[in-house]
Amino acid sequence: MDPHEQVSSRSLANAYAYVEGKFVPLLDAKISIMTHAFLYGSAIFEGIRGYYNPEHDDVYILRLADHYTRMRNNGRILMMDMEQTAQQLADLTVEIVRKCGYHEDIYIRPMAYKSAQRIGLRWDQQHEFLVFAVPMGSYLTKERPLNLMVSSWRRIQDNAIPPRAKVSGSYVNVSLAAAEAREGGFDEGILLNEDGTVSEAAGMNIFIVRSGTLITTPVYDNVLEGITRSAVFEIAQELKIPCEERTINRSELYFCDEVFLCGTGAEISGVGFIDRRKIGNGETGPITKKIQDVYFQAVRGNIPQYKKWLTPVWNR
């Protein structure tokens, strides 16, 4: 089943959204078709996961403060100074999840958007914040290693629309790559920079493994400064796996021992094939597995040292 269907097929009748200063039933939450952000993509957003732990009967929101810190920084790029502190936004988010009554895995979508209602590109000093949460399982298949392609679409550059900003309009770029991949029978697309070096996958960062060393593309190669990426650095350090940030050439993708993608949606997903070439032996590699094992336990609150990443929704 397409993971996206999981959201739409479940009933959202009891869910709430916070929009323009009010809590409203999610299915009634609407904004005007005149909204600048709708007309021109002038919004920034985050994607945050909450993981249910049945033994603890709690939902743990992952890296909540980090997401809102990134969002507030991104706001500067769009000249939107968000009034609420990261802590206030985090509190509001917990409140929304509680109001929805979720006891399952969820995905939270906050947005800050240009809210003026008029035609014209220039920006008014008017913006609003919204947040909602929906149930969500895996975004990418976990049943087998992923089958990727290098996209024919290039990654947007910092001086076009800064990729680190998570601007909604810029997501057409990664959507083109994701759509091209799905149409071609692949799971996801990898985007190259204009100079032909690797940037990231569509909505996720990329790691390769060469001779026991983890390598990921650096922040200046037009990637989002991923929060899962930083979690991988921390886990790698703990597991004493050397880790480098450096430019990656396309041919290294075919040459390396392992590849995995990481992101809030993607979690940590092993790659079996790129452009129909087998990566390693075509299975999720041993270093990827080690990192996955820690990550999936950590996000459900089963590893004490990583509890600092988690905000409990119910047992507060």
Q: Which is nearer to ligand PMP, 155 or 300 (CB)?
A: 155
The neighbour count for residue 152, using CB atoms within 10 Å, is: 12
* Given 64, 131, 204, 287, the residue binding ligand PMP (CB under 6 A): 204
Q: Which is nearer to ligand PMP, 100 or 268 (CB)?
A: 268
* Given 50, 135, 189, 263, the residue binding ligand PMP (CB under 6 A): 263
Burial class (CB in 10 A: 0-12, 13-18, 19+), 197: middle
Alpha helices in 11-145 (DSSP H): 36-40, 64-77, 86-100
224 is a site residue for ligand PMP (CB under 6 A) = yes
What gap in Å lies between CA 170 and CA 45, rounded to an integer?
11
State both tokens at 244.
């480098």
Residue 278: active-site member: no
* Given 50, 110, 203, 270, the residue binding ligand PMP (CB under 6 A): 203
Instruction: Give the residues across from 306 on adjacent strands.
Output: none
Positions 229 through 248 that interact with ligand PMP (CB under 6 A): 229
Shortest separation between residue 211's beta carbon and ligand PMP, angstroms: 25
Q: Which of 99, 114, 166, 289 is catalytic?
A: 166
Shortest separation between residue 227's beta carbon and ligand PMP, angstroms: 4
* Given 42, 216, 217, 228, the residue binding ligand PMP (CB under 6 A): 228
Shortest separation between residue 200's beta carbon and ligand PMP, angstroms: 5
Positions 22 through 51 that interact with ligand PMP (CB under 6 A): 47
Binding part of the chain for ligand PMP, among 87-95, 118-126, 203-211, 288-296 by CB under 6 A, reads 203-211
State both tokens at 299.
């996000």
267 is a site residue for ligand PMP (CB under 6 A) = no
Instruction: Give the residues across from 206 on adjacent strands.
Output: 261
- Helices 64-77 and 227-238, packing angle to 10 deg: 130
Shortest separation between residue 122's beta carbon and ligand PMP, angstroms: 27
CB 159 within 8 A of CB 134: no
Q: Which is nearer to ligand PMP, 128 or 267 (CB)?
A: 267
Rounded (5°) CA angle 192-197-203: 35
* Given 264, 269, 284, 292, the residue binding ligand PMP (CB under 6 A): 264
Alpha helices in 21-154 (DSSP H): 36-40, 64-77, 86-100
Shortest separation between residue 264's beta carbon and ligand PMP, angstroms: 3
189 is a site residue for ligand PMP (CB under 6 A) = no
State both tokens at 258.
């392992």
Positions 71 through 90 that interact with ligand PMP (CB under 6 A): none
- CA-to-CA separations, 110 to 36, 150, 172, in angstroms, rounded: 17, 30, 18
205 is a site residue for ligand PMP (CB under 6 A) = yes
Positions 89 through 108 that interact with ligand PMP (CB under 6 A): none
What gap in Å lies between CA 164 and CA 76, rounded to an integer?
12
- CA-to-CA separations, 40 to 79, 157, 166, 170, 174, in angstroms, rounded: 15, 18, 14, 10, 17
200 is a site residue for ligand PMP (CB under 6 A) = yes
Q: Which is nearer to ligand PMP, 46 or 58 (CB)?
A: 46
Binding residues (CB under 6 A) for ligand PMP: these are 47, 174, 200, 203-205, 224, 226-229, 263-264
Q: Which residues are catalytic?
A: 166
